[in-house]
Chains A and B, each alone.
Chain A
């Protein structure tokens, strides 16, 4: 269904160099420019963040390669190299399959997923000339984090070249301790889901200085107090224990304060991306090699098992036959 459903007008941008053979069957290439997957809740300012980061890199004369994966966005305020909207028409998907806005986003992403190998080819082909590839994701975060296509896209990127996940957090909204905790738990769940190098960006620093967040993250007692104040003296046990868990999470977490509006903190973002891609090279490449080896082994084992069981079946069939009718052939005995 998915394959045929891609609208007939679908075509990747015309600049597509035909290098598809280059990517096949080899492991991740650590020397390619890293891809940065930008995730965040709706309204956290993902798109503005991408816009600012792109502008920042343009100003440095090192323009990035930008991929937009949000089919429902009306206007993309930055120069985009690959746009899902060129391939899949969101409105058309909506009418053609009689889907609501949500279903249409998921379906569009699924459709695009069937062409994602082409995107990988394009990204790889460009990676020698760009400092990094930025990937903007759909507004609704779970369309990416809790969907098959999101997983496929993330894994496709991660198995091709250094891939980093950025979680954009809205500082203005995170001032409520419960919201902050929710956000951090979600961030933590992304860490576990993708298992990729990961950092958190506190966006909108121009509205609220996220220093409160940093205090909370370094001082567990402070956060507990805030939590208690917010609940009017009633702090539930679960929240309290979770804040202890998160304390552990913060320990290994890189955070950057930035503002997509003023451009504050963009250099720090780039540094964090650099560190994370180094992390990818150090930890993930050996890991992927191992996983690939394991997978290959597994596949070989399965194949062998299948063969064996088929052979068993055959023997059994043959034996069954032997009991019955066939007697006259010489080499049937085995």
Chain B
């Protein structure tokens, strides 16, 4: 079973950091992992991607090209369209074996998911190669310190989810950077049901006015086990492990695992 984690989320939400955390974690578990950097505008990241899309095309190439006059946005869309048409280029560089596990570090622009069909096409291509895809939506925990903000975050994640149509896990990143109080608040919020959460919000006029809507959202979030939100503390191995377990369950990793004997010649020379 081939597995794929699609890492999405707004700029600065910690996508690349997450990839490098996973990279290290997989290494310590001795599980094979390939990372694809799919962001043509990426700057630096501290993991070693197996495939770097910037080798194919980068936003800088497009912006510097005299014939194509585009802003950063148009440039990105141009790149992504080019990538979606050249997906074989990525496949050629992946081991693509039966037990391949791939993490794809995506660009953050929400437009690519909810406005344009590009990301959907890319996901569909991966699915057609028999990858089980799980979307991980990164949200900076600093932005969800109140129940209303948490709902806003959930809605943003949902707006990408409905168009990608994959299973998904939402990750609250940068938990380790929160103050102890805030951290506790976020953890408490995640532990309780959304309905409980919204019942607890204060009776500001705004909340009263939108109470019906808030309750409707909370009910959907509660009813759909599809929607999960997990807090991640990069510095805590246990937190990383828990998250990976959840992802693996979602992705159905290892459900078809068979007994492998360790005969050296089976090792793919591309790895290690």
A contact set with B: CB distance below 8 Å: 41-44, 72-74, 98-103, 105-106, 139-143, 145-148, 151, 170, 173, 178-179, 181-183, 185-186, 188-193, 195, 236-239, 241-242, 244-245, 248-249, 251-252, 283-284, 286-287, 290
Q: A286 to B227, alpha carbons, bound, how many Å? A: 36
Stretch at the interface among B22-30, B170-178, B184-192, B216-224: B216-224
B interface size (C-beta, 8 A): 57
Q: A72 to B220, alpha carbons, bound, how many Å? A: 38
Known: A41-B115, A43-B115, A170-B115. A146 touches B213 (CB 8 A): no
Of A43, A103, A170, A192, chain B has the most CB atoms within 10 Å of the CB of A192
* A244 CB, min distance to chain B CBs, angstroms: 7
Known: A141-B110, A146-B156. A287 touches B209 (CB 8 A): no
Q: Which residue of A lies closest to B76 (CB)?
A: A101
B196 within 8 A of A: no
Which residues of B have CB within 8 Å of A140? 11, 73, 109-111
* B114 CB, min distance to chain A CBs, angstroms: 3
Which residues of A have CB within 8 Å of B235? none
Partner of B220 from A143, A145, A147, A245 at Cβ < 8 Å: A245
Which residues of B have CB within 8 Å of A237? 224
Which residues of A have CB within 8 Å of B142? 148
* B170 CB, min distance to chain A CBs, angstroms: 13
B87 within 8 A of A: no
Partner of A195 from B63, B109, B148, B163 at Cβ < 8 Å: B148
Q: Contact between B204 and A290 (Cβ–Cβ < 8 Å)?
A: yes
Q: Which residue of A lies closest to B150 (CB)?
A: A192
B132 within 8 A of A: no
Partner of B210 from A105, A147, A252 at Cβ < 8 Å: A252
Which residues of A have CB within 8 Å of B41? 100-102
Known: A102-B72, A192-B148. A252 touches B213 (CB 8 A): yes
Partner of B11 from A102, A173, A244 at Cβ < 8 Å: A102
B contact set with A: CB distance below 8 Å: 10-13, 41-43, 59-60, 63, 71-73, 75-77, 107-111, 113-116, 140, 142-143, 148-149, 151-156, 158-163, 165, 204-206, 209-210, 212-213, 216-217, 220, 223-224, 226-227
Partner of B43 from A41, A99, A242 at Cβ < 8 Å: A99
* B143 CB, min distance to chain A CBs, angstroms: 6
Partner of A142 from B77, B108, B151 at Cβ < 8 Å: B108
* B10 CB, min distance to chain A CBs, angstroms: 4
Q: A139 to B110, alpha carbons, bound, how many Å? A: 11
Q: Contact between B151 and A192 (Cβ–Cβ < 8 Å)?
A: yes
Q: A243 to B73, alpha carbons, bound, how many Å? A: 30
Q: Contact between A72 and B114 (Cβ–Cβ < 8 Å)?
A: no
User: Can you offer 14 A-B residue contacts whose CB atoms are under 8 A?
Assistant: A100-B42, A101-B59, A102-B11, A139-B73, A145-B156, A179-B163, A182-B113, A182-B114, A182-B163, A191-B210, A238-B220, A241-B224, A245-B220, A248-B216
Known: A186-B114, A192-B149. A102 touches B108 (CB 8 A): yes
Which residues of B have CB within 8 Å of A251? 212-213
Which residues of A have CB within 8 Å of B72? 72, 101-102, 105, 139
Q: A139 to B115, alpha carbons, bound, how many Å? A: 13
Which residues of B have CB within 8 Å of A195? 148, 206
Q: Contact between B113 and A146 (Cβ–Cβ < 8 Å)?
A: no
Q: Contact between B224 and A183 (Cβ–Cβ < 8 Å)?
A: no
13 A-B pairs besides A142-B11, A193-B149 with CB distance below 8 A are A41-B115, A100-B43, A100-B60, A146-B140, A151-B143, A182-B160, A182-B162, A185-B155, A192-B152, A193-B148, A238-B227, A284-B206, A287-B204
Q: Which residue of A lies closest to B165 (CB)?
A: A236
Q: A145 to B148, alpha carbons, bound, how many Å? A: 14
* A284 CB, min distance to chain B CBs, angstroms: 8
Q: Contact between A103 and B162 (Cβ–Cβ < 8 Å)?
A: no
Known: A106-B12, A192-B155, A195-B206. A186 touches B73 (CB 8 A): no
